[in-house]
Structure 1
Amino acid sequence: MTRAGTKLTRRISRTSVVLALAISIALAGCGDSSSPSTQLPIGPQRPVSHVVAPGETLYHIATEYGVSVGRLMTANGLSDPRELRVGQVLTIPGTYRAVSIGTASSGVHRYTGERASRQFLWPVQQGVVSSGFGIRNGAMHSGVDIAAPVGTPVLAADSGVVIFSGTLHGYGNTVIIRHDDEYATVYGHNSRNLVSEGARVTRGQEIGEIGRSGRTTGANLHFEVRRDNIAENPLAYLPEPATSDGISFAAAGGS
């Protein structure tokens, strides 16, 4: 194949992945506000710290982490929301409703089917799988959502080439990596992307940070595995988390 032909093939491959994503988003989207009773309050699994930035309010911070203003005030000994000051370090109390692997009676269960021969790395080291792959509220959810605090590192599930780094409607700040054997992985809702289109990344490299961009009900990573541009259940491509690992499954929820 000529050099020009190779470039065209790569461009078509990249365009087809992004186009398929755009179509799937238009049909289903990732976040869903139609069924509030099934949504998981998103927040850090353990208390974390937050430094107050200019313009932030207690309401803004509480919403970002998925906690109530009252809990936030109690955790920090505040009696008046107006006491907040720039540079102040707040303790964010944990809010995940998570259970140990295999004990959930509803919501997201661990994967019990046959695992794919191709295995990827978990794209976060600690988090709660808050929404699974498949039909959700009557629409197809093409990946899994992994809830974790804003700023948590997002890792490349395997080595490859970044074919998209930007903003997609619904997905927010998104990175798409093309791997060998016609695989691609998708990382959405980032607070920011740390890699550019065309960059070569290695397995486990930090490529972004978890956020709330796009259509989502809380801070989480929307993660997809696609082969030949067809979305497949990511849990089939990820190793079973050990009890000691930082990955757990939510009792109920959706992000």
Structure 2
Amino acid sequence: MGSNKTLIFGHRGAAGTAPENTMVSFQAALGSGAEGIELDVQLTKDGVPVVVHDEKLNRTTDGHGWVKDFALAEIKTLDAGSWFSEGFSGERIPTLKETVHWAKATNLLLNIEFKTAYIPYKGIEKAVIDCIKAFDMENRVILSSFNHYSLIRAHEYAPNIETAVLFMEKLVSPGSYASKINARSLHPYWPIVDEVLLDETNKLKMAVRPFTVNEEAAIKQLIEKGCSAIITDFPAKAVQIRENIE
């Protein structure tokens, strides 16, 4: 995934302007000129990987309760757009399969985050990787998680798929830590990106993709510092800022 240009990943699609983690949001990110999208995956009660961020359905749908307690058929009846604005009513929670099938026909890179920090979701790594392999998308996917055991399991199952360490606080030598668990890249919370981190990752030739970078000044600064990518709720704005810098 190397390139000298800082790539733009739309966070949950284009979460600033469309309901997050829906097909309309992913289409908006594609239309913005972003090179990638970031999305979150959990498992339904019947073990199907679906694209949704919160462990509970309450915030982003008209449903209530835990994702894990609903079968796919029930999840598919929920409105995942109206909470954002009426114009998006009737948007559905996509399955990972639907999302990867759609992305296959584009040039987008996919950053798929395992939402396993609180709920372990037994078998999620294999379910996600099987889906990626079914569409022959291994070389266009980055798997990330705050639960680094998920990254270890993913690497054991598919060593050819890039894994990325998500983290919120400053770590000592995060690059060498990532290498230890066979992760090829770092996805830090953007305010903790400093010269120490960038120096280490440059030496290791390791990609750094900070999240969630929405302020114009921060977008500009991280592009100028040469980050491999940034993850943002406003991909159209970030693409514009990058063009102005270039």
- TM-score greater than 0.5 by the shorter chain: no
What TM-score do the two structures reach when normalised by structure 2? 0.26
Greater per-residue helix proportion = 2
Of structures 1 and 2, the larger Rg is shown by 1
Which gives a bigger RCO, structure 1 or 2 (Cα 8 Å, sep 6+)?
1
Greater per-residue strand proportion = 1
What TM-score do the two structures reach when normalised by structure 1? 0.26
